[in-house]
Amino acid sequence: MTFPKDENVLVGLDRADDAGVYRVSDDLALIQTVDFFTPIVDDPYWFGQIAAANALSDIYAMGGVPKTAMNLVAFPLKQMDIGILRQIIQGGIDKISEAGVVLIGGHSVEDSELKYGLSVTGFIHPDRILVKKNLQPGDVLILTKPLGTGVINTAIKGGLAPDTLIEQVTRLMATLNRSAAEAMSAHSVHACTDITGFGLLGHLAEMVLGSGCSMRVHASKVPVLPETLAYAGMGLVPAGAYNNKAFRASMVDFGASIDALMQDILFDPQTSGGLLISVAPDRAEALMADLIEKGVEQSAIIGDVTADSSEKIFVA
């Protein structure tokens, strides 16, 4: 495939970053992204919130500020009560309002399977775009949300998760990456992405590839939701985790202490996961303090970037 070139496209399809960026003037660029999926929780209002938090996340991961959004809806009108759709959309509107974003339109089609999401547009200064691959040797890696939503959603699908855990994971997925992004903006970080369908290691692999650097990840430092390990041990691992692992296995070097369960959790596909931030070591402590102060309390330093040009991820 060839992609049309335009000098105002600052981040396009060829770069495969979190969102596209288009320069409007010397001090303003637009960030655009779109994301939609089938329901991951039973409650329509919460599903709407999660879908919106997930769609907004790509703007935050580029270092931008989201401004406007449009709905994307596929709805089985004949099988489902329209009231369900209203609740989903209300969830979406409430979540984007929390982010200071306005809904200015949308489009819906009739479909056999329910899907909802949003296209989001944000602003950013052209010199302050945070791409994935701008890693610097010595950088510290910070993850802002715990892993495990894929495994726990599988347990929920199987009717095995207790209500308290369902509520915890639902709130986590519906939590905006806004506070994390605001904390990040004050610390001139080097690179950022958000952790979603490829799992932590899948997204780290995307960052490392072409960066000229390698990464070290301390598995014991990676925050993980409660019960994730137990459910994974019962075989409640989503097929996506195995696919992610098969796809990127050659880039990851697991230490002997990392068993198959932990490997799968590190590849577990996340819904509306946290930001992964690469920041200079002398700024890491201050950024962590800011994250905690802004309520992003589960943030953790999980590893660092090395000058090793093999572009691998070493996990211990």
Partner 1 sequence: MKEVDARGLSCPAPVLQTKAVLEETHLEEIKVIVDNAASQQNVERFLKSQGFETVLAEEGEDLTITGKGGSAPSEQQPTPAPEAEPGEQKIMVMCATDRIGFGDDDLGLKLMVNFIRTLKEMGPDLWRLVLVNNGVKLTIGGSEVLSDLQACEEGGLTILVCGTCLEHFNLLDQKQVGITTNMLDIVTAMQLADKVVSI
Task: Pick one of 238, 269, 273, 274: the residue that binds partner 1 (CB under 8 A).
Answer: 238
The H-or-E segment that residue 86 falls in is helix 82-98
Decide whether 1 or 256 has the Cβ nearer to partner 1: 256
Cβ 190 to partner 1, closest distance in Å? 21
| Contact (Cβ atoms closer than 8 angstroms) between residue 197 and residue 269 | yes
Cβ closest to partner 1, residue 122 vs residue 240: 240
Rounded to a whole number of angstroms, the minimum distance from the CB of residue 71 to partner 1 is: 29
Give 229-273 as a DSSP string.
HHHHHTT---HHHHHHHHHHGGGEEE-TT--HHHHHHHT---SS-
Tokens, residue 294? 């802004």
Give, as ranges, the residues between 139 and 168 that touch partner 1 (CB under 8 A): 154-155, 157-159
Q: Smallest distance from the beta carbon of 221 to partner 1, in angstroms? A: 11
- Cα 171 to Cα 263: distance, rounded to the nearest angstrom: 25
Applying the rule CB under 8 A, the residues between 239 and 298 that interact with partner 1 are 239, 241-243, 253-259, 261
Binding pattern to partner 1, positions 182-221, x when CB under 8 A? ----------------------------------x-x---
DSSP for 189-209 reads -SEEEE--TTHHHHHHHHHHT
How far from each other are the two terminal CA atoms of the chain, in whole angstroms? 39
Question: Shortest gap between Cβ of 32 and partner 1 (angstroms)?
Answer: 33
Please select the residue that binds partner 1; options are 229, 283, 298, 311, rule is CB under 8 A. Answer: 229
Residue 45 or 267: the one with the smaller Cβ distance to partner 1 is 267
Residue 37 is a binding residue for partner 1 (CB under 8 A): no
For residue 167 the two structure tokens come to: 């509520």
Q: Which residues does 77 contact at the CB level (< 8 Å), separation at least 6?
A: 110
The angle formed by the CA atoms of residues 245, 250 and 253, to the nearest 5 degrees, is: 90
Q: Which residue has the tokens 């879908």?
A: 51
Residues that bind partner 1 (CB under 8 A): 154-155, 157-159, 216, 218, 229-230, 232-239, 241-243, 253-259, 261, 314-316
